[in-house]
A and B are shown apart, each in its own frame.
Chain A
């Protein structure tokens, strides 16, 4: 009889790698306490970190922000009601992880929490004022050629699309004849969004790359910037400096110019990179002033929606999905068409319109490529044509898409999840049927049997049960022989 570990099988059957999108918390959690302390030296980073905290944790911080001594842990525990004790523990853990507070002892030996002095000082500065102004706010005379918001939006999107086009079209040039710098290519390669082709060494898009393309722009920018920051130490840039610069931009006002006067050289080159990706607009390299664009604002917010009293124009969607699974996309962008082609079967193409249909095969192909049903649905939702949004009123569903289509895409995904993977050990090549049956019945009686086949005398038991079964088998063999 032979035992075989089925582990290797699992790695073959494993689902394709999913694109990992970290949020700020997950990103910072992996940094050392030392780095965190250096980061909290910037009010901007404190503000950004504060906003990323869970709701209760934010209340804790603001409650002890103005308290000078450490606060006993028991006191803080008494702030949240009993039913939500789980959330309370999670919040305390996160605050500890991020080094926002650390445990301290107060006279009497009670354990207490104390806010990190740097964090506390700088959060107070951000909230109430005081301290040095942020780096980019030197007074400027009014710009003679001030740029309006529409221009900035346009600029930002065209720059960003350039990056995306590059990913889809490889080395071919974008529609405006623009390419991206080798630096950006390096980041894409580094982030596993593209890889060197085995034949000619040119960069080609990876599976993660496709998933990346399906994200909304905000999430794309954030993911991209994180990858950028990972490489910035290699570039000889200081991470805290860059991160604080990025958050300063994210907290700036759209349509306003800021001064690049007094920025260090590393920051200036960082600014040039941001300019390339469209996060800031600068007329000339040495203009001395720059405009942050919408891409840079609220960078950590994955899908924030502007709720304002004046209706600002947003990116208009272009996709119409019908209940008969037809997808009409009013676009002439080859990027959009390529993305749509990932999960639809394209039928017709007109100068400004592409018609496709969602079929089981086309969706399954996308699923095989590692794209999830949720990603497909969220892509279609994000780009839904304004007229699709109008339908939302009549049927009280949250999504602008026809519910049948949404459900079907999810069902198609579930179809693929018919396998459940369990680690186990296989027993086979039993010498007699009775041996097999005895062992099988034993395994069944202690609830460790996963699968068995009487005809070819094979059974699989769970990994935990393996030892027991093995012992039993040895005893049985001894007793039997």
Chain B
């Protein structure tokens, strides 16, 4: 019985930090199809954020916005928080979260430079920023407490192979810092981010339809990693870790790897001399 009391005691000294990376790039298919989707997604995210804060008073939240021209924090914002009074029966803190996120996002969208054409969402960079933020909180935490941090990426973008290296660095950093990476794909399935979930032990979910986003979020992503063990959740997806060869870009089982620059070839090229200048394999 004593040990039971201990664990409860320790629980109190833990805090669960959720960092949401929200992709609002207007080039996304789902947004271009219907711009109302943005509001719908945003509402779901706000409700989900509040549900996270509702779990325990110690829980912390941060929301990052990845827009086509850069990444910014939606919540918390630096400086004094907005002075918000209750307008209805909603808990004051929740109202503050919702208002701050919406206000800040509106400001970002109106300040954004005009887009010349569709462009990729730099999600890997946004995750890197989230990692830096988590690391700072981790550094400043009071003694004897623990922060269980996780990152949730909500995106409808396609992933771009050009970010491969950034993604990998981000995944391994997260793994090293014990930060779980969850991904909620709104549109296409994302193989790269799927690998990230697998490496860090997070959940990957591709949404069958946008309706009911909030229920999906609450169902799969609300429990923290410790609780997930106790619940039945979608089984981990099989992730394909095969490398693609440099010459034909095919996925291969057995390849030849350069000992200096780690370029992968499908078969030994005729002259396997010293590589003077070679482009690195991008995925």
Direct contact of A and B (CB under 8 A): yes
**Which residue numbers of A lie inside 8 Å of B, CB to CB?**
43, 47, 50-51, 55-56, 58-59, 62-63, 66, 78-81, 83-84, 87-88, 122, 125-134, 137, 139, 251-253, 298, 301-307, 309, 311, 389, 392, 398, 400
Query: Which residues of B lie under 8 Å from residue A58 when comparing CB positions?
Result: 55
A137 pairs with B57, CB closer than 8 A: no
Chain A, interface SS category: loop
B144 close to A303 (CB less than 8 A): no
Q: List 25 A-B contacts (CB under 8 A).
A: A62-B222, A63-B218, A66-B215, A78-B232, A79-B232, A80-B232, A81-B232, A122-B89, A125-B88, A126-B90, A126-B91, A126-B94, A127-B50, A127-B90, A128-B90, A128-B94, A129-B88, A133-B87, A137-B85, A251-B93, A301-B12, A305-B13, A305-B145, A307-B141, A392-B144
Q: Is the interface of B mostly helix, strand, loop or mixed?
A: mixed
B260 within 8 A of A: no
Contact partner of A251 among B58, B91, B226, CB < 8 A? B91
Interface pair B222/A127, CB less than 8 Å apart: no
A307 to B218, Cβ gap below 8 A? no
In the complex, whether B231 has a CB less than 8 A from a CB of chain A is yes
Residues of B that sit less than 8 Å from A by CB: 9, 12-13, 15, 47, 50-51, 54-58, 60, 85-95, 98, 136-137, 140-145, 147, 214-215, 218-219, 222-223, 226-227, 229-232
Cβ-closest 9 pairs across A and B: A131-B89, A129-B90, A125-B89, A84-B230, A137-B86, A307-B15, A133-B86, A43-B89, A129-B88
Contact call A305/B86, Cβ cutoff below 8 A: no
Task: Point out the residues of chain A lying under 8 angstroms from B223, CB to CB.
Answer: 55, 59
Residue among A47, A78, A127, A128 with the most chain B CB within 10 A?
A: A128
In the complex, the answer to whether B140 meets A251 with C-beta atoms within 8 Å is no
Instruction: Decide if A305 touches B91 in the complex (CB within 8 Å).
Output: no
- Known contacts A62-B218, A307-B142, A307-B145: A56-B55 contact under CB 8 Å: no
User: Do B58 and A130 touch (CB < 8 A)?
Assistant: no
In the complex, residue of chain B having the shortest beta-carbon distance to the beta carbon of A392 = B143
B218 adjacent to A133 (CB under 8 Å):
no
| Cα(A43)–Cα(B12), bound, Å | 24
CB distance from B12 to the nearest CB of A (A): 5
User: Please, how many angstroms separate the alpha-carbon atoms of A303 and B143 in the complex?
Assistant: 14
Q: Which residues of B contact A83 (CB under 8 A)?
A: 230
Bound-complex Cα distance A430 to B147 (A): 67
- Cβ contact within 8 Å between B55 and A87: no
B85: chain A residues within 8 A (beta carbon): 137, 139
Partner of A127, one of B51, B145, B227: B51
Residue of B nearest to A48 (CB): B57
Q: Quick check: A309 and B136 within 8 Å, CB to CB?
A: yes
A306–B227 alpha-carbon span in the complex (Å): 22
Known: A126-B90, A129-B94. 4 other contacts (CB 8 A): A129-B98, A133-B89, A302-B12, A303-B13
Assembly CA distance A133 to B58 (angstroms): 24
Nearest-neighbour CB distance to chain B for A113, whole angstroms, equals: 16
**Which residue of chain A has the shortest Cβ distance to B230 in the bound complex?**
A84
Query: Are the CB atoms of B9 and A305 closer together than 8 Å?
Result: no
Contacts of B94 in A (CB 8 A): 126-129
- Note all chain B residues with C-beta closer than 8 A to A125: 88-90
Smallest CB separation, A41 vs chain B (Å): 11
Contacts of B9 in A (CB 8 A): 303
* Contact (A129, B89) CB under 8 Å given A301-B12, A303-B12, A304-B57: yes
- Complex: chain A residue closest to B6, CB-CB: A374
Nearest A residue to B96 by beta-carbon distance?
Answer: A253
* Alpha-carbon distance between A56 and B145 when the two chains are bound, in angstroms: 22
Instruction: State how many angstroms separate the Cβ of B242 from the closest Cβ of chain A.
Output: 31
**Contacting residues, chain A, for B218 (C-beta < 8 A):** 62-63
Q: Are A305 and B12 in contact (CB under 8 A)?
A: yes
| A81 CA / B229 CA spacing, docked (Å) | 8
- A298-B54 CB under 8 A given contacts A127-B91, A127-B94, A305-B142: no
- For A80, give its contact among B57, B141, B144, B231 (CB under 8 Å): B231
Complex contacts, B15 vs chain A, CB 8 Å = 305, 307
Which A residues lie within 8 Å of B60 (CB)?
A: 307
Which B residues lie within 8 Å of A137 (CB)?
85-86, 92
Given contacts A66-B215, A80-B230, contact A132 B147 (CB under 8 A): no
Task: Write out the residue numbers on chain B whose beta carbons fall within 8 Å of the beta carbon of A392.
Answer: 143-144
